[in-house]
Amino acid sequence: MKLVPRNYYLDDLFDNFFAEEENSLKCDIYERDGKFHIEMDLPGYKKEEIKIESNKGNIIITAEKQREEKDESKKYLRRERVYGKYQRSFYLGNIKEEEIEASFTDGTLMIVVPKQEEKETKKYIEVK
């Protein structure tokens, strides 16, 4: 039971003081069997709200959630859910862009990016 009335003094001033940045989409990236694996937590998103782009070795993940329409019958006491566009990008180097696979299950986005074999480009120059 709370004895101090709601919105008294500095009620929620420090609620998010130590919270991490809201725009950070948390992920793990690891390599296994010649492929990069990206696992990103996107709870509350639908797969239609997620876009994955590949460009010259960069993987760009964008998640965008639109604000719901205003409902005048609702009187919010607290509103914490975040709306907007969030984006992360990762440079993975030489990859097979045409073979990238992605799936979205239970709020977790999983992307498998096959690595391209590195070709020897070293060239020796003769000194004259």
Rounded mean pLDDT of the chain?
A: 82
Given a contact cutoff of 8 angstroms between Cβ atoms, the answer to whether 109 and 55 are in contact is: no
Residue-wise pLDDT for 75-124, tens only, equals 888 877 778 889 999 999 899 999 999 999 999 999 999 998 877 778 88
pLDDT at residue 55, rounded to an integer: 92
Q: Which class is domain 27-67+81-114?
A: mainly beta
Spatial contact of 100 and 111, defined as CB atoms under 8 Å apart: yes
Strand 27-32 relative to strand 35-41: parallel, antiparallel, unpaired?
A: antiparallel
